[in-house]
Structure 1
């Protein structure tokens, strides 16, 4: 019999617990057993590992335990179902649909801006060519500003409105 207060070999410990030496070597590599420890400490660690595996708390090669992986999967599945529900309710849309809507809206706004100088010229006969040029220049600045907008700019503008 093995003296549990002394160090032992992998082969002898494997024989004691009824596994092969490579299994014990694997437990040492995974950090379940500590190299150079006593047979008693190895036995305690081995039994704790068996309890952890049985309870689903086994450490994987990536360092994540099975419980954490299951919780992460359950959370991702819940997120997926919630997103599908939001799509069905009409609260979410695909990026491609949003791009199409924004592009179409941008084209309509651009056409409306382009029509302003001609409408002003027809309605206000007193406007000179220089006046129309000033209006066209200002509208061009507006178009440029709009075309360069980012999500951060829009969010910053919302923050300013809240103040």
Structure 2
């Protein structure tokens, strides 16, 4: 190995020979702005070593890929997956399909109970007219339709009709 004077400017070929890479590899580093062709030997060596440290630490990579960011993203995704698995284990989360099935069955049972109300009222209060029973049936159908048309967004926002529906419900107390 020949002696290199690190206090003087060096050619790309000479610096490549010093660090054990081709002149083309050094030219690539100059082209990317990592090395400056006006640097003297010791500056080239420091810049080259700094670049190697950055690559080894994952802070600098070829192209757009930032290894440190990618690793952090992967760790976050793994943490979220584990948190969700733990929530499922603690029965804090359930699959949407299961929730839909439970709500559908509950809605069917409630609809059956609501539909039986007019007949039960007529038996308990035989003096009610057919129009009274028809109004009760209409109110039950209105409530059933409101519930059937609900979505997840309706559950997130306070219902402005709560005051009106409770006042109407009070009128039906028998």
SS of equivalent to 1:106? helix
Q: Which residue of 2 aligns with 1:92?
A: 93
Q: Computing the radius of gyration over CA atoms, which structure comes out larger, 1 or 2?
A: 2
What is the CA deviation profile of residues 7-27 of structure 1, one whole-angstrom value per residue up to 9, with x for unaligned ones? x77x77655654346545665
Q: Which residue of 1 aligns with 2:166?
A: none
SS of equivalent to 1:40? coil
- CA pair 134-155 structure 1, distance change in 2 beyond 3 A: same
Q: Which residue of 2 aligns with 1:40?
A: 39
Matched, 1:115 2:116: yes
Q: Which residue of 2 aligns with 1:148?
A: 149
- Tell me the distance in 2 between the aligned counterparts of 1:99 and 1:32: 58
SS of equivalent to 2:157? helix
- Tell me the distance in 1 between the aligned counterparts of 2:21 and 2:143: 77
What is the CA deviation profile of residues 134-155 of structure 1, one whole-angstrom value per residue up to 9, with x for unaligned ones? 1121112111211222222212
**Contact 1:52–1:58, Cα closer than 8 Å, also in 2:** yes
**Contact 1:117–1:132, Cα closer than 8 Å, also in 2:** yes
CA RMSD between the two structures:
3.2
Structure 2 gaps of 5+ residues are 163-174
- Tell me the distance in 2 between the aligned counterparts of 1:157 and 1:15: 74
**Contact 2:30–2:37, Cα closer than 8 Å, also in 1:** no
TM-score by length of 2: 0.68
Match of 1:57 among 47, 56, 59: 59
**Contact 2:34–2:51, Cα closer than 8 Å, also in 1:** no
**Contact 1:14–1:20, Cα closer than 8 Å, also in 2:** yes
Q: Which residue of 1 aligns with 2:158?
A: 157
Matched, 1:73 2:74: yes
- Tell me the distance in 1 between the aligned counterparts of 2:145 and 2:124: 26
Structure 1 gaps of 5+ residues are none
TM-score by length of 1: 0.72
- CA pair 13-106 structure 1, distance change in 2 beyond 3 A: farther
**Contact 1:32–1:45, Cα closer than 8 Å, also in 2:** no
